[in-house]
Amino acid sequence: MSLIDNLSIGLKSLLTQQKALEVTGHNIANVNTPGYSKQIPILTNADPVMIGNFFLGTGVELSEIHQVRDRFLDYSIRNETQTKEGYYAQQRIASLVEGIFAETDDTGLNKAITTYFNSFHELSVNPENAALRNNVISAAEDMVNMFHARDENLFETQKRVDTDISSYISRVNTLTEQIAKLNGQIVTAAGSNINPNDLVDQRTVLVEQVSELLNVNAYETDNGSLTVTTISGKALVVGSEWFEMKAIKDPSNNNYSNVFIENRGNLQDVTGDITEGRIGGGLEIRDNFIAQLRNDLDNLAYNIVNEVNSLHQTGYGLDGSTGNTFFDPLTGPTSKAAAKNIDINPALFSDVNLIAAAGTNNPGDNQIAVSIAEIQNALVMNSGKTSINDFYAGMINRIGNKTRNINEMLQVQEDLLVFLENQRNQISGVSLDEEAVNLLKFQRAYQACARFIETVDKMSDELLQRM
Amino acid sequence: MIINGNTGVGSFLYNISKIRERMDTAIRQISSGKRVTRPSDDPSGMSNIMNLKKLTDQGQQYIRNIDQSLTFMHMTDSVLQHLDNLIIEAKSLAMEAASSTVSSDARQAIAEEIDSIKNEILSLSNTKILGKYIFSGTKTLTKPFEDTGGTVVYQGNTDSVQIQMGKETPVSINLTGDQVFQNDDDIFDVMSDLSNALKSNDSDGIANSLDRLETSLNQVLRYRTVIGKRINLVDNTKQRLEEFNLIAAGEISNLEDADIAEAITNFMKEQIALDASLGAGGRIFTQSLLDYLG
């Protein structure tokens, strides 16, 4: 090997150290980039050449820029994120619902119901009294308005969750489109033996963002592309192709949206697959938690109307009339929409003497008033097993327990994720201390290489001078 | 294991937010005075609180019912006492008139007094409280006794007015006119007959009336006893309800009220933790080797 050849060793080494420095610089620049994994320049000695009886080395080269990434940690984090975001979505709404049913003060549906029935007690002591009759109507109005308001609140909350779900679905599509594009770029780069480290980082971030919205399976194929599917295997991203998610209204469920994937003209219903992430949490709250509460509220209103009406119709008003209902009758085989539709018989507004307190046509008779008042203690809910008060307390209890449970699970997930993120950070995160040392390292090596080149240059110069 | 600058940041921020959450809970308890403000704070405690509040609400309603009934019954009793006095007065007049030394003119005069007593009794029998007749049974808007040309006819019914004072069977609070005034003997008849006997100077008739007046007096006495017993019963029921409500209120307070001292201590504890964490965080995250190079 000639002296001049040494120059190429020097140059190659110089460039290699420079590249290593660039990687260091890249790391430092990305110290705060979310999802960035630090890259390590792998320096290997270049292939030696055979000169005479010796292998002579040919310097250093950069064989690989290695990305420090723990695949299993990525998978764990993605998994736990799905779960956490599911609880997070549920918690936001459960807190709202809890607020709707805040009952510790002397207001609220429970109090309104109690006051309504107690107004009949008051009436029973002086059934002839017009002021007390007006109070009954007034208390009934409060209760009816409360039912309407609660139903409205729950309905609005449900609608809001539904709207959220639709917008999350749009977001999923934005993400999967980008993932598909990155897949294409990564496969091409891998094919040309270039490590697409930064592209992989970006793709990982996107997949994690998808996981926030719904639970997915994501696995790498041999050519480096990431396949993303729902948990039952319906494809969202395959290679550089992505499949659009759609929100389709279900008329059998108040026209709330179900989730579909469109795959080559076929619509696949994946609503059942989505149990976690923000979409999963939203579905659970919308279709189970709130739906159940509305059902319970309807049952309560329905039974109150029917129990009061059937007693009231047998009773006599002060004017001697009988057969009047207190509330507008709630028709319909089921109790659906009872809470929205409950209303006082309008005839009672114009003449409170129609209120039937008496069991016989005598003004001092208060039997019906007493019986109606005591409905609140009777077992009229759950097919004769539960009283109105216990039923309502049961509703509040369920709300409380569910909310508490969600809060606790969310806490557990948050703790777990903090731990896992820390782990990942230790492995993949950029340490400014470490990079500072690397800066020095590669800078010195660069300087030394430069010195080497200078030395060879001087030696060549000497040689040339002599010629 | 390399700990880089970013390792602590995530958990640091997370822990700070947890401290703030706990401080927030403590503040909420202190300012509201309640340990349980939302169902999720303590679901089963909340159920118990709701049940107890329902019971006390109901208890208070029953107490209100009782108070009104007591007013009614006390007024009834006072009417009966008045009636008692009137009959005694009539009896004393009759005894005076029974003496053989009394002239028929004097007896005429006494007859007029008896008539006026009879009218007073008629008035009493038609007493109204709060716009309803107390002796008509449940026909409370109908006058119980009407004087139809000499005979007094009962126009009410025999139903009892029953008030609910608890979950047990209701209590009857009224007496019907036919019981008080006409049960063993018809007071109005007694008075009319006495008046007639006096006017016609009928000594036997007068003597007979004395016995009948005695019967009437006992009749009234009997019903005063009935009312008296009912008033006692109702008073006892009220007392029981009040005691129960007191205990329940104490229990509600136990379940619901915050231990202010404890909440304040918690708050201060978290405050200290917050100060320390923020101070430490402020120091750790600012240094790296780069500060010291070149």
DSSP track, A220-262: E-TTS-EEEEETT--EEEETTEE-EEEEEEEGGGTTEEEEEEE
Q: Are A444 and B12 in contact (CB under 8 A)?
A: no
Q: What ipTM goes with this model?
A: 0.84
**Confidence at residue A373, expressed as pLDDT on a 0 to 100 scale:** 93
**Confidence at residue B150, expressed as pLDDT on a 0 to 100 scale:** 77
Alpha helical stretches, state H, A315-373: 338-341, 346-350, 367-373
| Number of Cβ within a 10 Å radius of residue A3 | 12
* Maximum Cα interatomic distance, chain B, rounded to a whole number of Å: 144
Could you report how far apart the first and last alpha carbons of chain A are, in Å?
19
3-class SS string, B133-172: ECCCCCCCCCCCEEEECCEEEECCCCCCCEECCCCCCCEE
Q: How confident is the model at residue B185 (pLDDT cuts 50, 70, 90)?
A: confident
Element (H, E) at A450: helix A432-466
Q: How far is A429 from chain B (nearest CA, A)?
A: 7
**Confidence at residue A103, expressed as pLDDT on a 0 to 100 scale:** 66
A107–B contact, CB cutoff 8 A: no
- Taking an 8 Å cut-off on Cβ atoms, the answer to whether B50 and A362 are in contact is no
Geometric angle at alpha carbon B140, from B139 and B144, rounded to 5°: 75
What is the C-alpha R_g of chain B? 39
**Confidence at residue B5, expressed as pLDDT on a 0 to 100 scale:** 66
Which residue from A minimizes the CA distance to B70?
A125
- Exposure of B98 in the CB half-sphere (CA atoms within 13 A): 15
- Taking an 8 Å cut-off on Cβ atoms, the answer to whether A397 and B46 are in contact is yes
Instruction: Find how far residue A255's CA is from the centre of its chain.
Output: 21
**Confidence at residue B1, expressed as pLDDT on a 0 to 100 scale:** 55
**Confidence at residue B125, expressed as pLDDT on a 0 to 100 scale:** 93
Instruction: Find how far residue B21's CA is from the centre of its chain.
Output: 46
Those residues of chain A that have pLDDT short of 70 are 1, 103-106, 193-194
Summarised one tens digit per residue, pLDDT across range B26-41 is 898 898 888 888 888 8
What does the block give as tokens for A199? Answer: 């592209």
Chain A residues close to B37, C-beta within 8 Å: 102, 104
- Taking an 8 Å cut-off on Cβ atoms, the answer to whether A393 and B162 are in contact is no
A423–B contact, CB cutoff 8 A: no
**Closest to A290 measured CA to CA, from A88, A90, A103:** A90
- Taking an 8 Å cut-off on Cβ atoms, the answer to whether B132 and A363 are in contact is yes
Q: How far is A13 from chain B (nearest CA, A)?
A: 24
Q: How far is B180 from chain A (nearest CA, A)?
A: 18
**Confidence at residue B168, expressed as pLDDT on a 0 to 100 scale:** 80
Q: How far is A422 from chain B (nearest CA, A)?
A: 6
A363-380 burial, b at 16+ Cβ within 10 Å, e below that, comes to bbbbbbbbbbbbbbeeeb
Chain A residues close to B62, C-beta within 8 Å: 121
DSSP state at residue A289: I
**Closest to A323 measured CA to CA, from A332, A331, A312:** A312
Check pLDDT > 90 for residue B287: no
Q: How far is B224 from chain A (nearest CA, A)?
A: 21
**Confidence at residue B86, expressed as pLDDT on a 0 to 100 scale:** 94
Q: Are A343 and A327 in contact (CB under 8 A)?
A: yes
**Confidence at residue B2, expressed as pLDDT on a 0 to 100 scale:** 60
Mutate to test the interface with A, among B1, B6, B286 (most CBs of A within 10 A): B6
Angstrom CA distances, A266 to A214, A243, A269, B147, stand at 21, 11, 10, 94
- Taking an 8 Å cut-off on Cβ atoms, the answer to whether A429 and B7 are in contact is yes
> What is the sign of the dihedral through the CA atoms of A212, A215, A219 and A225?
negative
Pairing mode, strands B128-129 and B132-133: antiparallel
A70–B contact, CB cutoff 8 A: no
**Averaged confidence pLDDT in chain B:** 88
Mutate to test the interface with A, among B25, B50, B76, B285 (most CBs of A within 10 A): B50
Tell me the C-alpha distance between A67 and A429, whole Å. 11
**Confidence at residue B205, expressed as pLDDT on a 0 to 100 scale:** 87
- Taking an 8 Å cut-off on Cβ atoms, the answer to whether B7 and A426 are in contact is yes
**Confidence at residue A154, expressed as pLDDT on a 0 to 100 scale:** 94
What is the C-alpha R_g of chain A? 37
**Confidence at residue A147, expressed as pLDDT on a 0 to 100 scale:** 95
Chain B residues close to A431, C-beta within 8 Å: 2-5
A420–B contact, CB cutoff 8 A: no
Give the three-class secondary structure for A67: strand
Check pLDDT > 90 for residue B123: yes
Give the three-class secondary structure for B293: coil
In this prediction the pTM is 0.85
Give me the helix-helix angle, A291-314 and A130-191, nearest 10°: 160
